[in-house]
Amino acid sequence: MLSDVTTPQDLDDRFREALAALAAPGRRADPAQPVADGATLTGAELLDLFDAQVTSRQLDLAGRWLRSFGEGYYTIGSAGHEGNAGVAAALRPTDPALLHYRSGAFYCVRAAQVARNAEPDTDRKSDADPAGGGDGRTANAFATPPPSTVGATGDPGRAEGTTPVDGDPGSAEGTVPTEDDVEPAEEVEAPADDVDPAGGAEPAEGAAVPGTAGGGSVGARAVDPGYADAARDVLRGMVASREEPIAGGRHKVFGRADLAVVPTTSTVASHLPRAVGMGLAVERLRRLETRQEPTWPGETPAATWAPDAIVVCSFGDASINHASATAAFNTAGWYDHTGLRIPVLFVCEDNGLGLSLRSPQGWVATALRSKPGVRYFAADGTDLVETYEVAVEAAAWVRRHRRPAVLHLTTVRLMGHAGADAESAYRSAGEIRADLDRDPLVATARRLVEAGLASGAELLDRYDEIGWRIRRLAEGVLDEPKLASPAEVVAPLAPRRPLRVARAVAEAGDRAAGPGAGARVEAFGGKPPELVGPLTLAQSINAALTDGLLDHPQMAVFGEDVAAKGGVYGVTKGLRDRFGVARVFDTLLDETSILGLGLGAGLAGMLPVPEIQYLAYLHNAEDQLRGEAATMRFFSQGALRNPMVVRVAGLAYQEGFGGHFHNENSVAVLRDVPGLVVAVPARPDDAAAMLRTCLASAAVDGSVCVFLEPIGLYHTRDLYTDGDGEWLAGYAEPGAWAGAHVPVGRARVYGVGSAEDVTIITFGNGVRMSLRAASALADEGVGTRVVDLRWLAPLPVADLIREATATGRVLVVDETRRSGGVGEGVLAALVDAGYVGAARRVAAVDSFVPLGPASRQVLVSEEAITQGARTLLAR
């Protein structure tokens, strides 16, 4: 008797039992004809998609098998969600996709679509070698937009079960209709050297080509080689193989650049804001005439998509409750309401469970239907034909109107959440049986038999044949190498090519001084900043942003209040007037969405410069930097990147205004993100040079940079005495940019007096306070060297060790908190380098910053710096 828990063996047994009970069809149907009245999916196409579903199921079984003897490291599978094969088939293979972790069948279909559209690879290895090559991948599928072989062929009437949103725009003002929603499907002949996925013989002469309208029995149909490619990819991810094509053994993800599948490790919707950003960027880029950033030898160019591409983003029902999902839907609807277009198809695969937590009956449909500005479609995700037909309609609607929609698929979850999940702890036997009765593989098999396209026995043979091949592939990847050193693991994380960055800055200066000189003078109203005179920190940043927008046609500056108002502190004043609303624009007040827009824009080939209005507000959305931005290169081995320079107004010492939201002095959350560049300019001349460096690093290396601007220094003019103007600085003319270049991770040193007695290491507001304290110490005969770190990540370790050793006495002035502050990293660097001199630290109290004069009780002061230096000297 079969158990009530869906173990792999149980699920396999039930599938066999169900197929054995299917009667043989009375007569055979023509596979070239639609599989049912009113359907556009042909019998041949349904047979092909069944293979994708079976491949996905067998991968799940193989994952459990690998885990059973300690060779598999990932068992979250797609069983019960195989209907997403129909979603993939309804899309074009060049539509960028961000997939959740139950997308095995979708991934198989996408791999086959791309393989069919690729040129035959005459050097392809036979899959008789399970661990061999045979990937058959295109060099860059992003750039080729042929329609899917199994794909949408028109805009059918609304499928049963879909619900229109009030105010169907149809021909509403601002929509971008095309003559046809999608191009008609083409029939593509298979390459002559296609082989079976696990080493079978070539298809017999006259056998039907998978995915075309050919005839022939089920047994005579060759299994699409693209499914073998996909299966090998997934299996390599399960065993953490270094040969896995996207993450290289760093994680099991669905992703491949040539498939336009963007890797995402999210379990709860953190990729949805990026999807909205990609949609906005795709639409903006198709309307703007832009040029690509310079491509250096060996650099992977940014991904590009067809002008009418749509973005697809899948997730589970539990994810709709997450703040990131709420932000994404709200942002998509908000922009739609304002008339901007976001061509995103959200796909919610609703199995009713988030691990053990049930989604309340009817909640998901109610929540999704109520999203303003987002069209709602629904289908039974266990019915492959219905899923495909509704997905065709939904994709066509998004593609025609360039507006967001959600496709709500009701699915089931088989074999639990993952290998260690004991479903019986939270589900009754009846609930488990009810899901088993809706097994999508059984549903597709039943549909094929009822349509006269196959018998149950033939389909079971197909299931076993694919299973045998998957097992051989699994055995083949077992001995593939794993990542074996720290250097291998971190190699793609954050490449630093300082010479190329320096060259990019120099060439930007050459362009500004040469062919771009006229446009530059016009942009600055006839008077470039180098002719204006000394500038404040805020003015210098404004000028550098202007120069950046002039030199980078794909650069965009956006955030709360940055356009019309010019920023809360006037830092972006005039930029919208100079460059227009397409490149400088206000966003809604949501930091998650702002960063999500930046993530999507960077992936789409833009150079986004989003602003977070205050450092405290960044904490609302930090995972967009940690889990999404910083991981893109890591989990794609550099094949994909999301360059971005995030401007953040922060730190303390605002006069006459504040409280803990506007005087936030915590940066620990930023310094903890691997690969993130964190810049903190203190002086106006450094600010311009460092911003140019960040823009160049983003363009050249795909870096994610946080440019943290000290609010307390924005408009500071004086250093020692009122009216001395010594905190102002001139703006370098373009010809001097190369000489003034500030590389990532290089400090600046100021000598006061003899500079031989004590070294003060600091940053931000601490630089000005330390220089004032050093002046007071000089009057006492103490020589001080003040080291401005400038970069908090990576720290300028070589510079600080050199300057510390020069005096043997180090005072770390850290305006962040004592616990988790920057000073801890500085002292650790000194210890690691073997520094044996004296060291002290002056840091802020472990407290939020209070309002008004009370803030002075917890923040670092000049007096504390002076006293700290004297204590060091007294030792």
pLDDT at residue 137 greater than cutoff 70: no
Model confidence over 70-83: pLDDT tens digits?
999 988 888 899 99
At 200, the pLDDT band (50, 70, 90 cuts) reads very low
Residue pointed to by tokens 């827009």: 597
E strands, 164-296, are: 261-262
353 contacts 318 by C-beta, under 8 angstroms: yes
Q: What is the pLDDT of residue 267?
A: 63
Q: Has residue 332 got a pLDDT over 90?
A: yes
Q: Flag the least confident range among 117-126, 542-551, 866-875.
A: 117-126
Q: What is the reported pLDDT for 838? A: 95
Residue 765 has pLDDT above 60, yes or no: yes
Residue 500 has pLDDT above 80, yes or no: yes
82 three-state secondary structure: coil
pLDDT of residue 230: 95
Q: What is the pLDDT of residues 16-45, one digit of tens each?
A: 999 999 988 888 999 999 999 889 999 999
Residue 526 has pLDDT above 90, yes or no: yes
Enumerate the β-bridge partners of residue 634.
none
The pLDDT of residue 740 is 96
pLDDT band at 266 (very low <50, low <70, confident <90, very high): low
Model confidence at 209, pLDDT cuts 50, 70, 90, reads very low
What would the mean pLDDT of 503-521 be, rounded to a whole number? 96
Q: What is the pLDDT of residues 695-721, one digit of tens each?
A: 999 999 999 999 999 999 999 999 999
Q: What is the pLDDT of residue 217?
A: 63
Q: What distance in Å separates the CA atoms of residue 800 and residue 817, rounded to the nearest whole number? A: 20
DSSP string covering 511-578, please? HHHTTTHHHHHHHTTT--GGGT--B-HHHHHHHHHHHHHHH-TTEEEEETTSSSS--TTSTTTTHHHH
Give the span between the Cα atoms of 254 and 266, in whole angstroms: 11
pLDDT band at 849 (very low <50, low <70, confident <90, very high): confident
Asked if residue 532 has pLDDT above 50, the reply is yes
Q: Rounded to the nearest 5°, which phi and psi values hold at 811?
A: -115, 120
Q: How far is CA 421 from CA 7, 238, 415, in A?
A: 10, 17, 8
Measured distance CA(91)–CA(99) in Å, rounded: 14
Residue with tokens 């479903």: 423
Q: Nearest 5 degrees, angle CA 330-CA 333-CA 339?
A: 140
Calpha distance 873→193 (Å, rounded):
79
Looking at residue 422, what DSSP letter applies?
-
| Count of CB atoms situated within 10 Å of the CB of 723 | 7
Average pLDDT estimate for 483-502: 92
**Lowest pLDDT segment from 90-104, 413-427, 577-591, 643-657:** 413-427
pLDDT at residue 288, as a whole number: 65
Region 331-341 average pLDDT = 93
Interacting residues of 561 by C-beta distance below 8 A, sequence separation 6+:
567, 568, 586, 613
pLDDT at position 179? 33
Handedness of CA 802, 806, 811, 815 (dihedral sign): negative
pLDDT band at 359 (very low <50, low <70, confident <90, very high): confident
Q: With a cut of 50, say whether residue 2 has pLDDT above it.
A: no
Q: What are the strands of the beta sheet with 644-650, ordered from one edge?
A: 584-586, 555-559, 607-612, 644-650, 704-710, 677-679, 791-793
Which DSSP letter does residue 146 get? Answer: P
Mean pLDDT in residue range 778-793: 96
Please tell me the predicted confidence (pLDDT) of residue 236: 96
Q: Token pair for residue 453?
A: 């396209």
C-alpha dihedral over 497, 499, 501, 506, to 10 degrees?
Answer: -170
The secondary structure of 461-522 as a DSSP string is: HHHHHHHHHHHHHHHHHTTS----SHHHHHTTT----HHHHHHHHHHHHHHHHTTTHHHHHH
Average confidence (pLDDT) over 150-174: 36
pLDDT interval class at 181 (50, 70, 90) = very low
Residue 62: what pLDDT?
93
Predicted local distance difference test score (pLDDT) of residue 108: 96
Give the side-chain half-sphere CA count within 13 A for 476: 24
* Weakest-pLDDT range from 188-192, 613-617, 680-684, 834-838: 188-192
Is the pLDDT at 121 greater than 80, yes or no? no
Angle at Cα 382 formed by Cα 378 and Cα 386, nearest 5°? 50
Alpha carbons within 13 A on the beta-carbon side of 621: 33
- Please give the mean pLDDT across all residues of the chain: 85
pLDDT score of 130 more than 70: no
Q: Are 684 and 690 in contact (CB under 8 A)?
A: no
Percentage of the residues of the chain whose pLDDT score is greater than 90? 66
Question: Does the pLDDT value for residue 725 go beyond 80?
Answer: yes
The answer, yes or no, to whether residue 629 has pLDDT greater than 60, is yes
Distance between CA atoms of residues 447 and 399, nearest Å: 30
CB 541 within 8 A of CB 573: no
Side-by-side strand order, sheet with 838-844 = 748-752, 784-788, 758-762, 809-817, 838-844
Torsion of CA 635, 638, 642, 644, to 10 degrees: 120
**386-443 tens-digit pLDDT:** 999 999 999 999 999 999 999 999 999 888 788 777 777 788 888 888 888 899 999 9
DSSP state of 745: T
What does the pLDDT read at residue 305? 78
CA end-to-end span of the chain, whole Å?
A: 82
Tell me the backbone φ, ψ of residue 612, rounded to 5 degrees: -100, 120
Percent of residues, the chain, with pLDDT higher than 70: 85
Pairing between β-strand 784-788 and β-strand 758-762 as defined by DSSP bridges: parallel
Higher-pLDDT residue of 188 and 688 is 688
User: Omega of the bond prior to 794 within 30 degrees of 0, cis?
Assistant: yes
| Each residue's pLDDT tens digit, 566-618 | 999 999 999 999 999 999 999 999 999 999 999 999 998 899 999 999 998 99
Average confidence (pLDDT) over 864-873:
95
